[in-house]
Structure 1
Amino acid sequence: MSDLSAALLRVPLFRELNREELLRLERISSIRHYGKKTIIFNEGAEREAVFFVLRGLVKTFKTDENGHEQLMNILKTGDLFPQTGFFDDAPYPATAETIGDSRLLSIPVRPFEQLILDVPGIAIKLMRVMSSRIINLQERLHSFTGHDAAERVVLFLLKLAEDYGKPDEQDAVRIPIPLTNQELANAVGTTRETVNRLVSGLRKEGLLLTDKTGFRIPDKENLFIRVHKEEH
């Protein structure tokens, strides 16, 4: 089995495709390697390809008129971006940049559209999987509703720990994503000053450690309890 075949098989979106459909898809796909902090595409550029993360992490963000970045998403292995995928011919909705060295699966939009015309069953299978992803996204957005800024930051950190965390030798959870306080603020819709105060408080309580490589949560349960106390 080639590296490309193995890569396609690891993508959740293609889990319902049969062998022949996967072979057709393989013919138009490629694997690309990107170094740390490399722009994959810019917001507003013509959509030429859709990407899947095979290894590494990718962040997507928008830039406002003052040049401030608003973090939209952090993508891990198996994730698709842009998330509107193949069924939207609008320009790229955000800029995508690697957080560390990354390996991506690239599928060009126009050849894929022709493949759909030739084998329409592929579109039906993809839409089934994408509908479940939309439901999951709605549930994630709903979980943030009704919380104040401090609670949203903590819930966001817990979500990062769930999706990207790695246990260390002391049973703490390491999140290897070097986000700044401004990026945290943008991600949950608050100010950098608010995040500065909260992160400082969490450090003093021993609930969060930070450095240039990311975050470390000594005890996820205690961090969750802190949010629960705030709610009451």
Structure 2
Amino acid sequence: MASSAVRIFVDKKTEIQCKKGQQFVIEGAPVNGLFFILHGKVKVYRTGINGREQIVRFAKAGEIIGHRGFGTEEYYSIGAIALENTSLCYFSKELLQQVLKSDPSFTYDLMLFYANELNKSEAKVKSISQMTVRERVIDTLLYLHRKFGNVNGYIDLALSRREYADYAGTTEEQVIRIFSILKKEKLITANGKRIGCPNIELLKKEISDHNFFLDG
């Protein structure tokens, strides 16, 4: 049974509706709380060298946005944009601090969540640093396939070639070239922004040495 503190926490939530393309976390803005995705898809990014966008991750229903800055930083180190019409649940920083101080079980669960996030982040950095550009693009395709699944033979997330590049850490031109090669090798199919992966096992085999499964 939920504690009284957690019940108060849930009762005081605020629901927010975001339209496709709407930004709801602004990089560099003061940290004021956390967002839980109730429905929809989101990209989380940070600004890199020369102002270029680097996509940190994609998120879907049930995931948290803005948690890495909570309690440790005054400003958000990331930005977040809805990739489709999205419903969010917002909890203020003050409310979170109140519950964390009064409910040890909730605090412990959140600590385990942070530990798991750190492990995944470290594993990703290690793997990406050892991958070729082709392997990074394939890793991106497998990550999106695992996270969002398939609809009618295509990954259930339509992204531009630039967004693929911003996540894989390469250029749009490289993504276009590698996609063209993968299509010729019949490892992927494409319909506009929709990408299909009919040969998942062959794609996995290409990067099996890098433990592709670590980044869920």
TM-score (norm. length: structure 1): 0.79
**C-alpha distance in 2, partners of 1:151/1:121?**
41
Per the alignment, residue 141 of structure 2 pairs with 157
2:173 counterpart residue number: 193
List 4+ stretches of structure 1 deviating above 6 A: none
Rounded Cα–Cα distance in structure 2 between residues aligned with 1:202 and 1:219: 10
State how many pairs are aligned: 209
Residue 74 of structure 2 is matched in structure 1 by 90
Q: Secondary structure at the match of 2:68?
A: coil
1:59 positional shift:
0.4
Q: Per-residue displacement from partner, 1:72-112 (whole Å, max 9, x unpaired)?
A: 11111221112415322421112110000111111111222
Q: Which runs of 5+ in 2 are unaligned?
A: 210-216
* RMSD over aligned Cα atoms: 2.4
Q: Which of 15, 24, 28 is the equivalent residue of 1:44?
A: 28
Task: List runs of 5+ in structure 1 lacking aligned partners.
Answer: 1-16
TM-score after normalising by structure 2: 0.84
1:180 aligns with 2:180: no
- Aligned-pair distance for 1:158? 0.8
Counting only pairs closer than 5 Å after superposition, residues 1-232 of structure 1 correspond to structure 2 as: 18-64=2-48, 66-84=50-68, 86-166=70-150, 168=152, 172=153, 174-227=154-207
> Deviation of residue 37 (structure 1)?
0.9
User: Percent identity, aligned pairs only?
Assistant: 25
CA distance in 1, matches of 2:47, 2:124: 23
- Between 73-82 and 21-30, report the one with greater CA deviation: 21-30
